[in-house]
Homo-oligomer: A and B are copies of this chain.
Amino acid sequence: MSKKYIDTETLKYLLFDVHNLGELLSKKRFEDHDIESLNMFLDSVEEFSDRELFPYLAEMDTKPAHYKDGTVIVNKQVNTYMKKGGEMGLISAPFDYGDGGLQIPFIIQTASTYIQEAANNQLPGYGGLTLGAAELIVHFANESLNKIYVPKMLSGQWGGTMCLTEPQAGSSLSDIVTKAYKTDKDYYKISGQKIFISAGDHQFAENIIHLVLARIEGAPKGTKGISLFVVPKNRLNSDGSLIKNDVMTVGDFQKMGQRGYCTTHLGFGDNNDCQGWLVGEPNKGLTYMFKLMNAARIGVGRGAAAIAMAAYQASLQYSTERPQGRKLTSTGKKNPDETQCLIIEHPDVRRMLLLQKSIVEGSLSLVLLASKYQDLLLTTSDNELKIKYNLLLEIITPIAKTYPSEAGINSVSNGLQVLGGYGFCSDFILQQYYRDIRIFSLYEGTTGIQSQDLLGRKIPMENGKGLELLSLEIQKTIKVAYQYDELKPYAKKMGIKLELTQEVLSFLMPFAKKGNYERYLADANLFMEFFSIIIISWLWLDMAVNSKQKLQSNDLTYSKDFYESKIHTMKFYFKYELPKTISLANTLMDEETLTINEYKKNIFV
């Protein structure tokens, strides 16, 4: 039996039915697309992933990217991916026609990349970083920079990166020290070190365009003095040829997972000959970067969701092929005369599979929803609606980044457990997924940072308007769910959880109001977990409502079992995951303060 890494039916069901892509396609921006054409696009992506991505996943792990003689040696498939993928429009698709794109909805780009990442979570990163860097140039740089760089990036000929992190600063961007010195030409001279630069260099790269955060000499301290520069690995000579731009590859971090996706250490301007071109205005670098941060963060959630999907499929397949033990029924219990049953027949294995299914499909629905909010924000002209979609996008983004990454670790771990000892062995892919997914809670702002963003910025923004709008969306689903007897108990539970959210926030808010942010945010991670589970429960209820509607109308694109499995999995999530919010709320509303520094100095003695 060939290996399956994705459940395409569920992806399409979520896209076309649950998230109602058709409605989005009525927008002028997408007028050249219809469901059929987008369906074909996704099919071609899957076919490409089957052929060019999935077969290289294990090999990229066992023969990792590594530093050699001033560059990074990566799997040759990186080259194939950039060239063929670029040709197919995998990088350019969401861009405007004017910038060489196809103006496909962002939700379709998400689905496309999700398919690719389920097949191979490492290769698409090389395209994804290029896309992000090109987007920054398109949005914020001048026309001339756009003309030089963007076409070759979108075609996959040149790569791109985001250079934020520095050794001494880590997540604390206000402490960036990379310098930019003004010259009398149109460029600045750049000098500094950047670490953890994904896709930062490789032997096939004719050029790599780095988008670098740096401080112009004399700029204000902190985040207000950071500018953004285009710094190519090779710059254009006056004759149009490329010459080296004093960007040195100092090393490649060796990692526990995603070992085929290089993570470089770059040095800029060691020989005082590194030229960088300012993007937009001085000191606005972080603002630009963060305008595209939502997309980047949703992208991280998408990647984690995709790995969890692939791991679920692998463990599901194993469980239907592996006989072991006997069912615990009164007759079957340990009776050696009976043949062994398949392990999928054991309730505990089914629990592990359903746990995965509920996390995997819930996460997918979440990243698609966040992408849809992006599309709606981009294509809505009505100002009030624009504000609405912006707030919804802002509040959902840290959750879309974090839930798939954190719950995904648990999901993949359960997938590994399904295989027993084999899950830990290199002959099976689960152990690779287990390693690969662990980085997603660190990428693009750790879970700690996302949680502070959610509770510290997104919940209080506009006097709680984002949360209010999201609650209204949830209430809409609850209302429809009440129309179906089978769904009523779950609709009721959902309503109770909205009230519980208010209760938790009523407990926490006074700390913020008194200016005690340290206490307010001390358990932000727990709030993130609490609220994420409620959001995923909502998305499951929404899926169940949709499936119920389909079953009642007899409008069955998929099998009856398919829709019933969605309702069943919703019930599973409500029984096994949603109750966790009770204990989390309990802890969040506990008066005790045990983690704040001043309280006790020496608690780690």
* A interface list, Cβ under 8 A from B: 165, 169-172, 174-175, 196, 221-223, 253-257, 263, 316, 324-330, 333-337, 340, 344-351, 353-354, 357, 409, 413, 416-417, 420-421, 423-427, 431-432, 434-435, 438-439, 441-442, 446-448, 451-452, 515, 517-518, 521-526, 559, 561-562, 564-565, 568-569, 571-572, 575-576, 579-584, 586-587, 590, 592, 594-597, 600, 602-605
Query: Contact between A350 and B426 (Cβ–Cβ < 8 Å)?
Result: no
Contact A254 to B427, CB < 8 A, known contacts A416-B438, A596-B347, A604-B316: yes
Q: A222-B334, A344-B604, A423-B442 are in contact. List 17 more A-B contacts (CB 8 A).
A: A174-B336, A253-B426, A328-B517, A348-B524, A351-B595, A416-B438, A417-B441, A417-B442, A417-B446, A421-B442, A559-B605, A562-B605, A564-B603, A568-B594, A568-B600, A569-B603, A571-B592
User: Which of the residues B420, B434, B564, B586 comes within 8 Å of A442, measured between beta carbons?
Assistant: B420
CB-CB < 8 A to A592: which residues of B? 571, 575
CB-CB < 8 A to A515: which residues of B? 330
Query: Contact between A165 and B196 (Cβ–Cβ < 8 Å)?
Result: no
CB-CB < 8 A to A584: which residues of B? 579
CB-CB < 8 A to A526: which residues of B? 576
A567 to chain B, nearest CB (A): 10
CB-CB < 8 A to A171: which residues of B? 324-325, 420
Contact A348 to B316, CB < 8 A, known contacts A170-B324, A255-B426: no
**What is the bound-complex CA distance between A444 and B488, given in angstroms?**
44
Interface centre among A196, A344, A448 (most CB of B within 10 A): A448
A99 to chain B, nearest CB (A): 32
Contact A517 to B329, CB < 8 A, known contacts A423-B442, A524-B348, A603-B569: yes
Query: Contact between B435 and A330 (Cβ–Cβ < 8 Å)?
Result: no
Query: Contact between B590 and A575 (Cβ–Cβ < 8 Å)?
Result: yes
CB-CB < 8 A to A336: which residues of B? 174-175, 221-223
A532 to chain B, nearest CB (A): 15
Q: Within the oligomer, what is the number of copies of this chain?
A: 2
Query: Contact between B351 and A522 (Cβ–Cβ < 8 Å)?
Result: yes
A419 to chain B, nearest CB (A): 9
A211 to chain B, nearest CB (A): 19
A435 to chain B, nearest CB (A): 7
A125 to chain B, nearest CB (A): 14
**What is the bound-complex CA distance between A562 and B351, given in angstroms?**
42
CB-CB < 8 A to A569: which residues of B? 603
Query: Contact between A426 and B254 (Cβ–Cβ < 8 Å)?
Result: yes
CB-CB < 8 A to A165: which residues of B? 421
User: Which of the residues B325, B581, B605 comes within 8 Å of A172, measured between beta carbons?
Assistant: B325
A600 to chain B, nearest CB (A): 6
**What is the bound-complex CA distance between A335 and B324, given in angstroms?**
60
**What is the bound-complex CA distance between A416 and B423, given in angstroms?**
22
Query: Contact between A431 and B255 (Cβ–Cβ < 8 Å)?
Result: yes
CB-CB < 8 A to A587: which residues of B? 575-576, 579
Write 21 A-B pairs (CB below 8 A) sorted by A numbering.
A169-B324, A170-B420, A170-B421, A172-B325, A172-B326, A223-B336, A256-B424, A256-B425, A257-B424, A347-B518, A347-B521, A348-B452, A348-B521, A351-B522, A417-B447, A417-B448, A561-B605, A571-B592, A572-B595, A575-B592, A576-B587
CB-CB < 8 A to A451: which residues of B? 348
Residue of B nearest to A259 (CB): B426
CB-CB < 8 A to A522: which residues of B? 347-348, 351
**What is the bound-complex CA distance between A517 and B333, given in angstroms?**
9
CB-CB < 8 A to A424: which residues of B? 255-257, 438-439, 442
Query: Contact between A568 and B438 (Cβ–Cβ < 8 Å)?
Result: no
Query: Contact between A582 and B586 (Cβ–Cβ < 8 Å)?
Result: yes
Contact A597 to B327, CB < 8 A, known contacts A582-B582, A583-B580, A602-B565: yes
